[in-house]
Chain A
Amino acid sequence: MSGLAPVPDAEHESVPIGSNDDVVRARQLVRALAQQCKLSLVDQTKLVTAASELARNTLVYGGGGVMRVGLVHRDGRVGVTAVFEDSGPGIPDVDQALTDGWTSGGGLGLGLSGARRLVDDFTLQTEVGGGTQVAITKWAR
């Protein structure tokens, strides 16, 4: 999918997400950036947790994909944006997928809805058979 690309190309780093190892690497990369833009400890933790949920979704439900992450600037504020993309089956019912407790694969069903609550900006683009793209941003206070 090549819809919105909120991460500026010049600044972002890409991590393939194809194994459990990659999920850990994605978390570490997001944490490093969160520290770099001086998010509070709580906000760092929220962002990294959200990234962890989404990276696992990409791996488990999307059959693997890629995470792009970078710093973003808006109205004099700095934030961290992470975009998770896969070309998996997509999500047929987005509203349902964003409901607490809904899961298509054995989890608690808190992944998407939980991740959304942990960040400031959350966008989801999905197409049945065409993959899923989730972008999250957390701004420094």
Chain B
Amino acid sequence: MLKIGDVLLVSIQVELEDQVVLELQDDLAARIVDSGASGVVIDITAVEIVDSFVGRMLATTAAISRMLDAQTVVVGMRPAVAITLVELGLSLGGVRTALTLEKGLEILARRDDSRPAQL
């Protein structure tokens, strides 16, 4: 887990076992609070499959982050993964997505700009 400015970057590199997915979710929530991050980018460029379990984790993580005042953007979803998720019937409701890490960071930066109190 990397911190760039006030954004936490989580890059998922390995094939995830369910237990690891749940631990990641816990860790991330703790890190948001500790670091005062205002944004989270989850990079899934390397992820070959997203099943309903991982999909649910992404949605839950986004919801938890929102409650902790941080916005989540999922970046780098592969076409085959997106097609499969649609067929599976999973919409990741409420999760922002972006094509690339840069575009994901742009979305978060834009959100910061609009925060009145932030300089």
Contact = CB atoms under 8 A, between A and B. Distances in A.
Main secondary structure of the interface of B (DSSP, over half): helix
B52 A118 contact: no
Contacts of B83: 42, 45-46
Nearest to A28: B15
A118 B83 CA distance: 10
A23 B16 CA distance: 10
Interface residues of B, number: 23
Interface in B15-73: 15-19, 48-53, 55-56
B113 interface: no
Interface in A122-141: none
Contact of B15 (A24, A45, A46, A117): A24
A23 B89 contact: no
B116 interface: no
A9 to B, nearest CB: 28
Contact of A118 (B15, B50, B88): B88
Main secondary structure of the interface of A (DSSP, over half): helix
B54 to A, nearest CB: 9
What interface size band does chain A fall in? 20 to 34
B18 A56 contact: yes
Interface string A79-103: 0000000000000000000001000
A110 B89 contact: yes
A32 to B, nearest CB: 12
Contacts of A44: 80
